[in-house]
Amino acid sequence: TQLLEQSPQFLSIQEGENLTVYCNSSSVFSSLQWYRQEPGEGPVLLVTVVTGGEVKKLKRLTFQFGDARKDSSLHITAAQPGDTGLYLCAGTYRSRDSGYALNFGKGTSLLVTP
Protein backbone atom coordinates (compact mmCIF):
# COMPACT_ATOMS: atom_id res chain seq x y z
CA THR A 1 0.00 0.00 0.00
CA GLN A 2 1.37 3.38 -0.98
CA LEU A 3 0.59 5.77 1.85
CA LEU A 4 -0.17 9.47 1.57
CA GLU A 5 0.24 11.75 4.57
CA GLN A 6 -1.71 14.99 4.62
CA SER A 7 -1.07 17.94 6.88
CA PRO A 8 -2.49 19.67 8.69
CA GLN A 9 -5.35 17.38 9.62
CA PHE A 10 -7.56 20.30 10.69
CA LEU A 11 -7.40 23.97 9.80
CA SER A 12 -9.66 26.77 11.00
CA ILE A 13 -9.07 30.21 9.53
CA GLN A 14 -10.88 33.47 8.93
CA GLU A 15 -12.17 34.68 5.60
CA GLY A 16 -9.47 36.40 3.57
CA GLU A 17 -6.53 34.43 4.96
CA ASN A 18 -4.20 32.29 2.85
CA LEU A 19 -3.42 28.64 3.57
CA THR A 20 -1.39 25.72 2.28
CA VAL A 21 -2.19 22.03 2.60
CA TYR A 22 0.47 19.38 2.08
CA CYS A 23 0.40 15.84 0.77
CA ASN A 24 3.51 13.67 1.16
CA SER A 25 4.51 10.11 0.37
CA SER A 26 7.63 7.99 0.19
CA SER A 27 6.30 6.47 -3.03
CA VAL A 28 6.34 7.81 -6.56
CA PHE A 29 2.92 8.22 -8.12
CA SER A 30 1.95 8.11 -11.76
CA SER A 31 -0.35 11.04 -11.09
CA LEU A 32 -1.89 12.81 -8.16
CA GLN A 33 -5.38 14.16 -7.78
CA TRP A 34 -6.96 16.60 -5.35
CA TYR A 35 -10.59 16.25 -4.35
CA ARG A 36 -12.94 18.29 -2.19
CA GLN A 37 -15.70 16.66 -0.20
CA GLU A 38 -18.65 18.23 1.56
CA PRO A 39 -20.64 16.47 4.32
CA GLY A 40 -23.00 13.81 3.01
CA GLU A 41 -21.55 13.88 -0.49
CA GLY A 42 -18.89 12.05 -2.42
CA PRO A 43 -15.52 13.66 -3.21
CA VAL A 44 -15.41 15.90 -6.27
CA LEU A 45 -12.26 16.22 -8.38
CA LEU A 46 -10.47 19.58 -8.32
CA VAL A 47 -7.35 18.84 -10.34
CA THR A 48 -5.03 16.12 -11.67
CA VAL A 49 -1.27 16.64 -11.83
CA VAL A 50 0.90 14.28 -13.82
CA THR A 51 4.30 15.86 -14.50
CA GLY A 52 6.91 16.43 -11.81
CA GLY A 53 7.14 20.15 -10.99
CA GLU A 54 3.77 20.86 -12.57
CA VAL A 55 1.77 23.83 -11.27
CA LYS A 56 -1.92 24.23 -11.97
CA LYS A 57 -4.21 27.08 -10.99
CA LEU A 58 -7.94 26.95 -10.47
CA LYS A 59 -9.16 30.44 -9.62
CA ARG A 60 -7.82 31.06 -6.07
CA LEU A 61 -6.42 27.52 -5.75
CA THR A 62 -2.85 26.68 -6.80
CA PHE A 63 -1.70 23.06 -6.97
CA GLN A 64 1.89 21.92 -7.25
CA PHE A 65 3.31 18.44 -7.89
CA GLY A 66 6.78 17.81 -6.50
CA ASP A 67 9.68 17.29 -8.88
CA ALA A 68 10.06 13.67 -7.73
CA ARG A 69 6.29 13.06 -7.97
CA LYS A 70 6.16 12.06 -4.30
CA ASP A 71 4.47 15.12 -2.85
CA SER A 72 2.03 17.89 -3.64
CA SER A 73 0.65 21.07 -2.16
CA LEU A 74 -2.58 23.02 -2.42
CA HIS A 75 -2.49 26.75 -1.73
CA ILE A 76 -5.68 28.77 -1.32
CA THR A 77 -5.50 32.55 -1.57
CA ALA A 78 -8.02 34.75 0.23
CA ALA A 79 -10.10 31.85 1.57
CA GLN A 80 -13.87 32.18 1.57
CA PRO A 81 -16.51 30.36 3.66
CA GLY A 82 -17.48 28.44 0.52
CA ASP A 83 -14.03 26.81 0.57
CA THR A 84 -14.99 24.93 3.74
CA GLY A 85 -14.74 21.18 3.27
CA LEU A 86 -12.52 18.12 3.40
CA TYR A 87 -9.60 18.32 0.99
CA LEU A 88 -8.24 14.96 -0.10
CA CYS A 89 -5.17 14.10 -2.10
CA ALA A 90 -5.08 10.79 -3.94
CA GLY A 91 -2.22 9.07 -5.74
CA THR A 92 -2.61 6.84 -8.76
CA TYR A 93 -0.46 3.74 -9.05
CA ARG A 94 -0.42 0.61 -11.13
CA SER A 95 -2.08 -2.21 -9.21
CA ARG A 96 -0.97 -5.85 -9.12
CA ASP A 97 -3.42 -6.80 -11.85
CA SER A 98 -2.25 -4.00 -14.10
CA GLY A 99 -5.24 -1.86 -13.44
CA TYR A 100 -5.06 1.59 -11.92
CA ALA A 101 -5.87 2.12 -8.28
CA LEU A 102 -6.20 5.29 -6.29
CA ASN A 103 -5.07 5.68 -2.67
CA PHE A 104 -6.36 8.58 -0.62
CA GLY A 105 -4.78 10.51 2.20
CA LYS A 106 -6.79 11.07 5.37
CA GLY A 107 -7.68 14.58 4.31
CA THR A 108 -7.45 18.10 5.64
CA SER A 109 -10.65 19.43 7.15
CA LEU A 110 -10.85 23.16 6.42
CA LEU A 111 -13.21 25.58 8.15
CA VAL A 112 -13.36 29.17 6.92
CA THR A 113 -15.33 31.50 9.15
CA PRO A 114 -16.75 34.87 8.00
Partner 1 sequence: DTGVSQDPRHKITKRGQNVTFRCDPISEHNRLYWYRQTLGQGPEFLTYFQNEAQLEKSRLLSDRFSAERPKGSFSTLEIQRTEQGDSAMYLCASSGTGYSPLHFGNGTRLTVT
Question: What residues line the site for partner 1 (CB under 8 A)?
Answer: 6, 30-31, 33, 40-45, 48, 50, 88, 90, 92, 95-107, 109
- Smallest distance, partner 1 to C-beta of residue 78, A: 26
| CB nearer to partner 1: pick between 13 and 102 | 102
Q: Which residues contact 19 (CB under 8 A, 6 or more apart)?
A: 11, 13, 75, 76, 79, 110
Query: Which region holds residue 16: left if phi is over 0, alpha if psi is between -120 and 50, else beta?
Result: left
| CB nearer to partner 1: pick between 66 and 107 | 107
- Smallest distance, partner 1 to C-beta of residue 28, A: 14
The vertex-85 CA angle with 84 and 86, nearest 5°, equals: 145
| CB nearer to partner 1: pick between 56 and 106 | 106
| Single-letter amino acid, residue 99 | G
